[in-house]
Structure 1
Amino acid sequence: MKNKLFMLMLVLVIAVLAACGTKDKEEKTGSEGTNTEDKKVLVMGTSADYPPFEYVDTAVSEDIIGFDVDLAKLIGEKLGYEIKIENIDFNSLIPSIQAGKVDFVLAGMSPTPERDKVVDFSIAYNETVQMVVTKKDSGIQTVEDLAGKTVGVQVSSIQEDLANEVAKTVDMTIESRNLIPEVFQDLMTKRFDAAIIEDIVAENYVKRNDDLAFFPVAIDDADYKAAVFPEGSELKAQFDEAIQELIDNGKIEELRQKWFVVEAE
């Protein structure tokens, strides 16, 4: 009888302990699930080699900063999302959207007919002008002067498309690099005679290097920057509304003043 009673009590104790453990586990799991549910994280793809839009100032920290980063945070606050940033090579950004690795892209990207076929773009948040950047002693002052020269561009960029268009009438060689710093490095070492870069990015480099100069490339339609989404994403309409509000209330102009006014060092 004592053995039977002992065994019965042991079973009851084990059952109670098991029940308590299950309850604790359920409470813990439920709490984490709620926090995750409430947090609503969006993954943003960018290519952090494009100051002042997105870059890393290694002298300060390893964080990605810039105009697009601040813009994404403003949009996230307005729509109730936390933004997580993934640093990806520029030419892999659209494939990352198509593969579902990121929810959207902010990377100083402009719509093109080819891109429009596979992704959706938001309304414009910034217009831009394309520049030819050269060494001051290059003798290059016009697009026609690029004849017989080697011109550097970023791979898969609208500048690469523009260079190929220019090359139809100007006999020049085009070479592409994955990252903008690589383009400028080859320009500084005279591997490239010139590079085609957008105005704000070009100005950042030229103001910090007395050996460089730049002039605009005349094109029919202005280029503009937009957020990028998977085709049919519900985020496009949300971002369109948020971007328009940020334009109307002057917040995007504040970001321009913060990031696009370049002072020589």
Structure 2
Amino acid sequence: MIKKLSIIALTLCLAVTYQSPSWAGKVLDKIKQTGVITAGTRKDAIPFAYVNEQGKWVGYSVDILEIIRKDVEKKLGKPIKLQLVEVTPQNRFEKIKNGSIDIECASTTFTWERDKQVDFTISYFASGTKILVKKGSQLGTIESLAGRKVGVIPNTTNEQAIKIQQPAAKLVTVKDRNEGLKKLETGEIEAFASDGILLQGLKKEAKNPNSLDVVPEFPYAYESYSCMIPQDESAWRDTINYSLVKFMEGIISDQPKTVTIYEKWFGDEGVTPYSREIINEYFQGIVNSYEWIPIVDY
């Protein structure tokens, strides 16, 4: 698995030497004038972006956006506010294209088809399509999904993965992950397809988490999470990439501040545990394609 994730990282990154970001471009000019980064994110993507019991927007991607905000604030030398806006799989691309938001970070997967509409930053996490099922269902292999009712969110890579790999599955569309969980619990569907790491978070929201399983062991398709930005905004993309590379370097080199962020969401006591060994290998593959940022920048 480590090798597969490293390959994904290397194939999605350009082997270039990173240069310090300039401050040219419509998005950066707007941020400089308004003092606001308008960011799209989700409310149903545990542990990446969701609203907690206190009504606060939290998550790994939300923390990533805050890191970007702080770096932009430092570079511009003026206070910058982060304004979060809820997006859905149905409207996120349009909000980027029409300028309603400057960036979208939640759990969005890079695809070449999507890249025709928007631009993507480097990846900051990787997962893959799996399914949430009731224990004892005997579902898991792609062959087992033939003729079964599988819940999917429209216009997602998870929907595409199931369509392509098992066209005999009976796809049932749901508006979001919460509806997918509800339909699974009531028996309206036999499985719900989404990213494995998100299904682990969703499982905790179930009435009886122990009655559900996330399967199979290895995803039907591997996916790499990136932030989306408007097309042809290279200075804005480079600014974000600088923050992301610096963050990943911090994880690889065990910098306390960055490791604390990762462990909060993915550590042994985090929301959805995920191997540091695997993510270190993944991040290393990405960082290797860029100039190392001096430790003083942390």
TM-score by length of 1: 0.78
Q: After superposition, give the CA deviation of every residue in 1:5-52 in whole Å (9 maximum; x if it has no partner).
A: xxxxxxxxxxxxxxxxxxxxxxxxxxxxxxx96762110011211111
1:203 lines up with 2:200 in the alignment: yes
**Distance in 2 between residues matched to 1:239 and 1:191, nearest whole Å:** 42
Q: 1:253 to 1:121 in 2, by over 3 A?
A: farther
Q: After superposition, give the CA deviation of every residue in 1:206-250 in whole Å (9 maximum; x if it has no partner).
A: 356011012237568731111100101131111011100111122
Q: After superposition, give the CA deviation of every residue in 1:143-199 in whole Å (9 maximum; x if it has no partner).
A: 21111101011222111111111223xx11112222110111111111111111212
Larger gyration radius, structure 1 or structure 2: 1
1:237 lines up with 2:234 in the alignment: no
Q: Secondary structure at the match of 2:229?
A: strand
Residue identity over aligned pairs, in percent, reads: 23
- How far did residue 105 of structure 1 move? 0.3
**5 Å matches for 1:50-89?**
50-57=45-52, 59-61=53-55, 63-80=56-73, 81-89=80-88
**Distance in 1 between residues matched to 2:140 and 2:117, nearest whole Å:** 37
Q: In terms of mean alpha carbon deviation, does 218-227 or 136-145 score higher?
A: 218-227
Aligned residue for 2:118? 119
Q: Secondary structure at the match of 1:139?
A: coil
Q: In terms of mean alpha carbon deviation, does 255-264 or 98-107 score higher?
A: 255-264
Aligned residue for 1:149? 148
**Distance in 2 between residues matched to 1:199 and 1:255, nearest whole Å:** 20
CA contact (8 A) 1:143 1:217 kept: no
Q: Secondary structure at the match of 1:116?
A: helix
1:159 lines up with 2:158 in the alignment: yes
Structure 1 unmatched ranges of 5 or more: 1-35
CA contact (8 A) 1:125 1:226 kept: yes
Query: Which of the numbers 253, 260, 278 marks the counterpart of 1:254?
Result: 260
Aligned residue for 2:181? 184
Q: 1:253 to 1:173 in 2, by over 3 A?
A: farther
Aligned residue for 1:222? 222
Aligned residue for 1:40? 35
CA contact (8 A) 1:49 1:180 kept: yes
**Distance in 1 between residues matched to 2:263 and 2:128, nearest whole Å:** 17
TM-score by length of 2: 0.70
**Distance in 2 between residues matched to 1:220 and 1:173, nearest whole Å:** 17
CA contact (8 A) 2:129 2:221 kept: no
Aligned residue for 1:29? none
CA contact (8 A) 1:46 1:90 kept: no
Q: After superposition, give the CA deviation of every residue in 1:102-125 in whole Å (9 maximum; x if it has no partner).
A: 011002101112111111000010
CA contact (8 A) 1:130 1:216 kept: no
CA contact (8 A) 2:142 2:220 kept: no
CA contact (8 A) 2:140 2:216 kept: no
Q: Secondary structure at the match of 1:113?
A: coil
**5 Å matches for 1:16-35?**
none
Higher relative contact order (CA 8 A, sep 6+): 2
**Distance in 1 between residues matched to 2:220 and 2:182, nearest whole Å:** 30
